[in-house]
């Protein structure tokens, strides 16, 4: 009999409690970005090329067997997760005949209230089962009325937008994505679009050569073990600050990140002569599926970390925080425009494999960028059975040589920031608090007196 203290999950029928055996769907082609990540894995098998997210829930956790049955029932809407890459030079995603939910859904039990941190980071660092591209970890044992679900995937499998669709299919309420997409273009605009795409690629590639050799010295010896630290701010606060300057909540996040890094650099004793973040940008067409693979572009953005402050510890200067916001917006304003967005979409759609892999490898190189920064609207609310999602954390790709990866997830009324870094990063646990303070500083500075 089920444990009376465990929540009742939506009960699939006996026939659907395990992944239904369907007639195999037509083979789905991989994209150039998928193949680029697979090539990166072949080049660097020692690197973890996975990303993901964590959902925090209130209420008693389900039994592992019940969670596996629930996930198996939901997989009908996510055919990619029951597929694998097969083929030669032009591999395709096709249904895996030996797929088993048990190899993908796992459990980590904390050793009492003090074991939460160890259990969470066990899930963050656990390897995938052989031949698997993704995994789900049920994390519980620290509190009878709280648990978490960690979802991780190989980046060849999904990008952030596809992963957000997975969240909504598994835990959300079916809200549509808030991703911006270019309007439908006319054939007469093709020459202009081609010129814009080439010019944009040339600009970013040229910029990557210009910053070579200007990276800070290695601040720590990596341990190979990832850690997660979280912070949050009301999403309306970020939106109001951004709207007041003609920008967005994401602009405010990046400006706050730059301010947090200024203070962190001084306290941790890590000089930052230059910080360049790599921003993943969704480049799907309006009619393109979000459930399959990657359609993302990597855009470099210099963070204004060295904006001067009147204070020795680089804090408490509202004028400097607003200057950071204006400097961020000077670049992101172009990104929101139709010309840049269409050019990025065309680059991702038409760039051949070789240049795509070379460009992605270069943009992720610590010689060019040293922070991964991403953001994603997730959902207005979420649940698993009778338990409710109370918070989220993105797990962006952590590239060797980068200081950390930072993700901003929009869930309900909150903008939740998560920092993923190697355990050896000096004072990494301070970053969420410093980000929250930087947001508050922007709020105070932008409020009329």
Q: Which pLDDT band holds residue 19 (cuts at 50, 70, 90)?
A: very low
pLDDT digits 0-9 by tens, 273-319: 889 999 998 888 777 766 778 888 898 999 999 875 555 544 456 68
Query: How many Å apart are CA 138 and CA 160, to the nearest integer?
Result: 21
322 compared with 180, residue with greater pLDDT: 322
pLDDT at 240 over 60: yes
Confidence class of residue 28 from pLDDT cuts 50, 70 and 90?
confident
Res 13: pLDDT: 35
Q: Give pLDDT, residue 447.
A: 77
Q: What is the pLDDT of residue 444?
A: 94
Confidence band, pLDDT 50/70/90 cuts, at residue 191: low
For the chain, give the mean pLDDT.
85
Q: Model confidence over 327-374: pLDDT tens digits?
A: 999 988 877 777 878 888 888 888 899 999 999 999 999 989 999 999
Q: How far is CA 390 from the centre of its chain?
A: 19
Of 90 and 36, more confident = 36
Distance CA 43, CA 36 (A): 10
**Host H or E run for residue 375:** strand 371-379
Could you identify the residue written with the tokens 């009301």?
Answer: 234
How confident is the model at residue 196, as a pLDDT?
73
Tell me which residue of 50, 206, 204 sits closest to 135, measured CA to CA: 50
Asked whether 255 and 324 are in contact (CB, 8 A), the reply is yes
Answer for the pair 294, 156: CB distance below 8 angstroms, yes or no: yes
Q: What percent of the chain has pLDDT over 90?
A: 59
Of the given ranges (77-91, 197-211, 324-338, 362-376), which has the lowest mean pLDDT?
A: 197-211
Round to whole Å and give the CA distance between 21 and 97. Answer: 9
Handedness of CA 163, 165, 170, 171 (dihedral sign): positive
pLDDT bracket for residue 10 (50, 70, 90): low
Whether residue 212 has pLDDT greater than 70:
no
Query: How many Å apart are CA 315 and CA 445, to the nearest integer?
Result: 13
What angle, 0 to 180 degrees and rounded to 10, lies between the N-to-C axes of helices 353-364 and 32-43?
A: 60
As a whole number, mean pLDDT of residues 94-121 equals 95
Give residue-wise pLDDT tens across range 115-133. 999 999 999 999 999 889 9
- List of long-range contacts for 152-155, beta carbons under 8 Å, 24+ apart: 152/50, 152/51, 152/52, 152/124, 152/128, 152/395, 153/50, 153/51, 153/52, 154/37, 154/41, 154/49, 154/50, 154/128, 155/37, 155/49, 155/50, 155/51, 155/294, 155/397
CA angle (203, 207, 208) in 5-degree steps: 120
Say which DSSP state 397 is in: -
Cα–Cα distance measured from residue 384 to residue 56, given in angstroms and rounded to the nearest whole number: 11
| Bigger pLDDT: 3 vs 243 | 243
The tokens describing 57, both together, are 């829930």
Cα dist from 316 to 232, 266, 313, 437, 443, whole Å: 20, 14, 9, 9, 12
Q: Under a CB-based contact definition with an 8 Å cutoff, are residues 339 and 257 in contact?
A: no
Q: Find the mean pLDDT for residues 211-216.
A: 52
């Amino acid at each position: 009999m089920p444990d009376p203290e465990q929540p009742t999950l939506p009960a699939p029928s006996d026939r659907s409690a395990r992944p239904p055996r369907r007639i195999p769907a037509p083979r789905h082609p991989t994209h150039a970005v998928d193949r680029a990540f697979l090539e990166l894995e072949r080049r660097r098998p020692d690197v973890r090329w996975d990303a993901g997210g964590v959902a925090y829930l209130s209420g008693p956790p389900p039994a592992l067997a019940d969670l596996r049955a629930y996930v198996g029932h939901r997989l009908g809407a996510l055919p990619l997760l029951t597929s694998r890459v097969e083929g030669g030079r032009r591999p395709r995603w096709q249904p895996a005949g030996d797929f088993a939910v048990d190899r993908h859904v796992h459990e980590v039990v904390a050793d009492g209230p003090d074991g939460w941190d160890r259990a969470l980071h066990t899930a963050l660092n656990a390897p995938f089962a052989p031949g698997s591209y993704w995994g789900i970890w049920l994390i519980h044992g620290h509190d009878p009325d709280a648990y978490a679900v960690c979802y991780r995937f190989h980046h060849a499998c999904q990008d952030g937008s596809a992963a957000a669709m997975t969240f909504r299919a598994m835990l959300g309420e079916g809200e549509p994505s808030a991703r911006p997409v270019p309007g439908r273009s006319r054939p007469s605009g093709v020459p202009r679009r081609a010129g814009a795409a080439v010019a944009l690629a040339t600009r970013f590639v040229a910029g990557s050569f210009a910053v070579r050799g200007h990276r800070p010295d290695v601040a720590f010896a990596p341990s190979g073990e990832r850690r997660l630290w979280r912070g949050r701010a009301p999403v309306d606060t970020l939106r109001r600050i951004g709207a007041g300057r003609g920008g967005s909540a994401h602009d405010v996040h990046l400006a706050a990140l730059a301010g947090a890094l200024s203070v962190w650099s001084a306290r941790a004793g890590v000089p930052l002569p230059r910080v360049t973040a790599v921003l993943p940008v969704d480049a799907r067409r309006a009619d393109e599926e979000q459930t399959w693979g990657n359609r993302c572009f990597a855009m470099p953005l210099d963070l204004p970390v060295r904006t001067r402050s009147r204070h020795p510890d680089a804090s408490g200067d509202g004028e400097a925080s607003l200057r950071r916001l204006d400097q961020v917006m000077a670049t992101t304003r172009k990104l929101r425009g139709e010309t840049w967005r269409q050019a990025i979409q065309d680059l991702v759609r038409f760039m051949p494999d070789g240049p795509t892999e070379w460009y992605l490898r270069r943009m992720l190189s610590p010689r060019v960028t040293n922070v991964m920064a991403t953001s994603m609207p997730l959902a207005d609310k979420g649940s698993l059975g009778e338990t409710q999602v109370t918070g989220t954390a993105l797990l962006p790709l952590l590239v060797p040589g980068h200081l950390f990866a930072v993700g901003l997830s929009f869930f309900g009324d909150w903008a939740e920031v998560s920092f993923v870094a190697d355990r050896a990063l000096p004072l990494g646990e301070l970053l969420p608090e410093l980000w929250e303070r930087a947001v508050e500083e922007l709020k105070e500075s932008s409020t009329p007196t």
